[in-house]
Amino acid sequence: MAMLNKNFLSLNDMSRTLYDKLWDEHHVSKLDSGESLIYIDRHYLHEVTSPQAFEGLEQKNIKPWRLDANIATPDHNVPTVRGSSFSTDQINDEISKIQVVELDKNCNKFGIKQFDITSNNQGIVHVIGPELGYTIPGMTIVCGDSHTSTHGAFGCLAMGIGTSEVEHVLATQTLKISKLKNMNVVFSGKPMPGVTSKDIILYLIKKIGTAGGNGHAIEFSGDYIESISMESRMTICNMAIEAGAKVGLIAPDKTTIDYVKSHSFLDQDVMDFAINYWESLKSDANACFDKEISIDVSQIKPQVTWGTSPEMAIDFDGSIPAMSKSKNFLLAGSYMGVEEDQKLTDLQFDKVFIGSCTNSRIEDLREAAKVVLGKKVDATIKEAIVVPGSGAVKSEAESEGLDVIFKDAGFIWRDPGCSMCLGMNPDQLSPYERCASTSNRNFEGRQGNLGRTHLMSPAMAAYVAINGRVGNLL
Amino acid sequence: MNENNQNLIQGIVASIDRDNIDTDQIIPTEYLKSIKKSGFGEYLFDGWRYHDRGKLGMSSDQRDINSSFILNHDQYRYSSVLLTKDNFGCGSSREHAVWALRDFGFKAVIASSFGDIFYNNCFKNRVLPIILDKEIINELFNLYSNEPLNITIFLDKKIVDTGKNQIPFQVDNNLLERIIYGLDDVDITLKNKEIIKVFEQQRKKDKPWIYINE
């Protein structure tokens, strides 16, 4: 194997980026086709993108290569009003039910570990992976879901794949892929009060566009990144895909290792052995990136999207940009029911959604609860829901009394799932409803047919719930 | 030549003049509830093709059709090449987006760029994504956006032929072969089974914590 790796590394590869190192570490072989076989350490599965992959295995009469690489949970379709004794049979939407039943059947048949709908650990796959200790620094991680980039916050090479690749990983424990280019995004400075990692990543997407990271793995670095929690780092890596990059990465440091220690099922001696390696996972000082961008975060205001692409973000107190200069802007403005020069702060909202793999972790709920504490949801808001990302987040929030803060204010406190991020379950917008959402995509129809989504941080979404509009958090 | 081989794509070009068409537009989440790999063609671009909100299992004759949308025009109903702009297929990783394009009858998509995951997914399903410079894309829009015209794509020569111009395009040979021969990657990779096993044994020794589960 050493020889194969040596052949693969060229002579000028002495200084490497974190992505280069993870790539080399998992490089099984270079194929005649020019692609590489990359070994996959962890594979997360959910009910939407896996059934056709399992069917493929059955047709070929193949068993999964390594069962314990796989962890499954249903998240996209699950209702979020379940209570304590809910079972799959009780899903009202018959078509959704089939998909969740199918995941149960496939996991049982093939012997894959699943946190099913009755488990206290069920939740959004990208929330439960890290918190249950299955996401470990230095791993390659894939899942049939583009927000798999989330796990890059742990110094993992993590990316979303299609269903054919889900089948390929189940069958061969590898992916057949070509190497991406390297991009470094350096965030420096101290953000203004009220500005969160969600605002920072929305600002980046606005700057480089939703295709800005196409073909690249983005490493996020700089003193701002070093200063923030794992939850905040996950929010940033989660939305790398909204900047076009299927891989987002952050080098592991003390913050990472402390998080892993407190969530891991590994024994202390194994962990001590592993930590030496984890600490080596960083880009070399003179590593060469194909693209580099530096952003001073101290100048960034809270960001809110006005259109139908995550790149259509503006300062919360800004005005909708001129439409005439772009057909994309015209189409977006018309869909969203906004006009040029209109102030974002003048828009009246109908619904508030706090949740999704971007912003449903404990820190997000704490930030939102701080804004809500002692106040009431505005009479103009038809519905404000909080959907914790996992069973563990939900119970931690309840032990801190956050659920009571939300419920007292008039929010609905739900059970874990993807929920209104994409409305595969009953949590949807009605046509023309305007939603303050902590999710990741404001695409047409994403939260419900003709629904209007404005992406923002949990604190700003909470502010909208209380005031009916976006505004100054301070 | 094997009759399953596909060296030529020929047919009507349908164009959609937008950047950043995301996979939620190509196939909305409602239809991802299917556990099959086919049957998505009727829901392709659902939010633009119909005025009403559909459900999995509904056929287009039960729907409120948006007659102004290009794929609802009689002349474009059997289009086999889609022409569009920048960053087509961005967003969600859903392979259902490619299945929907394929089921409708599209064999190729021409754009100035594609979302990375979508681009990969195309090659698993014999839908050829072709990247051309923005200026050429604009010229193609001038040619194709007013009337239904044919295009011919020579896969082995990597040429798009409009009848007036022959435009070369770039694509990795190994990816192109997937389209031409309809190869299955799982079968191919399993020929390397022993190499993967050797790698895995070494990794178990070097990084044992990867292999420990609760």
B5 falls in which pLDDT band (50, 70, 90)? confident
ipTM of the complex, rounded to two decimals: 0.96
Angle, helices A391-399 vs A402-409, to 10°: value is 80
- When pLDDT is averaged across residues A257-274 and rounded to a whole number, the result is 96
* A411 close to A377: Cβ distance less than 8 angstroms: yes
Considering the entire predicted model, what is its pTM? 0.96
Quick one: what percent of chain B has pLDDT higher than 70? 98
- When pLDDT is averaged across residues A162-181 and rounded to a whole number, the result is 98
Closest by CA to A299, choosing from A187, A186, A462, is A187
To which residue do tokens 């992916």 refer?
A175
**pLDDT tens track for A457-474:** 999 999 999 999 999 999
**pLDDT tens track for A358-410:** 999 999 999 999 999 999 999 999 999 999 999 999 999 999 999 999 999 99
Checking if the pLDDT of B202 tops 90, the result is yes
- The burial class, CB within 10 Å (0-12 / 13-18 / 19+), for A121 is middle
Query: Cα–Cα distance between A98 and A310 in angstroms, integer?
Result: 32
Query: Cα–Cα distance between B175 and B180 in angstroms, integer?
Result: 9
Checking if the pLDDT of A1 tops 80, the result is no
Give me A472's structure tokens.
């100054």
Interchain pair A33, B113: CB under 8 A: no
Checking if the pLDDT of B181 tops 70, the result is yes
Q: Is the four-CA dihedral A51, A52, A57, A58 of positive or negative sign?
A: positive
Other C-beta atoms lying within 10 Å of the C-beta of residue A349: 24
Checking if the pLDDT of A5 tops 70, the result is no
Amino acid at A350: D
Interchain pair B92, A176: CB under 8 A: no
A5 touches chain B (CB under 8 A): no
Query: Cα–Cα distance between A174 and A193 in angstroms, integer?
Result: 44
H helix runs in A71-195, sequence order = 94-110, 125-131, 163-172
Q: What is the dihedral of CA A332, A336, A339, A342, to 10 degrees?
A: -120
Strand order in the sheet with A27-30: A27-30, A36-39, A174-177
Interchain pair B186, A309: CB under 8 A: no
Interchain pair B115, A214: CB under 8 A: yes
A239 falls in which pLDDT band (50, 70, 90)? very high
- When pLDDT is averaged across residues A276-285 and rounded to a whole number, the result is 97
Question: Tell me, what DSSP letter sits at residue A156?
Answer: -
- The strand pairing partners of B22, in sequence order, are B90
What is each CA distance from A451 to A432, A434, B206, in whole angstroms? Answer: 5, 7, 51
Query: Cα–Cα distance between A269 and A262 in angstroms, integer?
Result: 15
- When pLDDT is averaged across residues B169-195 and rounded to a whole number, the result is 94
Specify the pLDDT at position A4: 44
**pLDDT tens track for A358-372:** 999 999 999 999 999
Taking the mean position of all CA atoms in its chain, how far away is CA A7?
36
Interchain pair B117, A162: CB under 8 A: yes
Interchain pair B202, A1: CB under 8 A: yes
A84 falls in which pLDDT band (50, 70, 90)? confident
Q: Calculate how close chain B gets to A472, using CA atoms only, in Å.
A: 30
Interchain pair A422, B53: CB under 8 A: no
To which residue do tokens 């509830």 refer?
B33
H helix runs in A15-88, sequence order = 18-25, 51-60
**Of residues B29, B125, B207, nearest to A423 (C-beta):** B29
Closest by CA to B197, choosing from A61, A32, A66, A4, is A66
Q: Calculate how close chain A gets to B156, using CA atoms only, in Å.
A: 16
To which residue do tokens 């044919």 refer?
B150
Average pLDDT in chain B: 96
A97 touches chain B (CB under 8 A): no
Interchain pair B209, A270: CB under 8 A: yes
**Of residues A96, A241, A327, nearest to B33 (C-beta):** A96
Interchain pair A68, B196: CB under 8 A: no
Specify the pLDDT at position A6: 41
**pLDDT tens track for B63-95:** 999 999 999 999 999 999 999 999 999 999 999
**Phi and psi at residue A401, in whole multiples of 5°?**
80, 15
Residues of A in contact with B36 (CB under 8 A): 52
**Of residues A29, A95, A449, nearest to B33 (C-beta):** A95
Specify the pLDDT at position A13: 55
- When pLDDT is averaged across residues A425-453 and rounded to a whole number, the result is 97
Interchain pair A211, B87: CB under 8 A: yes
* Selected residues 302-321 of chain A with any CB under 8 Å from a CB in chain B: 309, 311
Give me A99's structure tokens.
């998909």
- When pLDDT is averaged across residues B2-30 and rounded to a whole number, the result is 93
Closest by CA to A424, choosing from A157, A147, A9, A77, is A77
Strand order in the sheet with B81-83: B128-131, B108-111, B81-83, B8-15, B150-154, B159-161, B166-168
Disruptive mutation site among A50, A101, A210 for chain B (greatest number of B CBs within 10 Å) = A210
Between β-strands B81-83 and B108-111, what pairing exists: parallel, antiparallel or unpaired? parallel
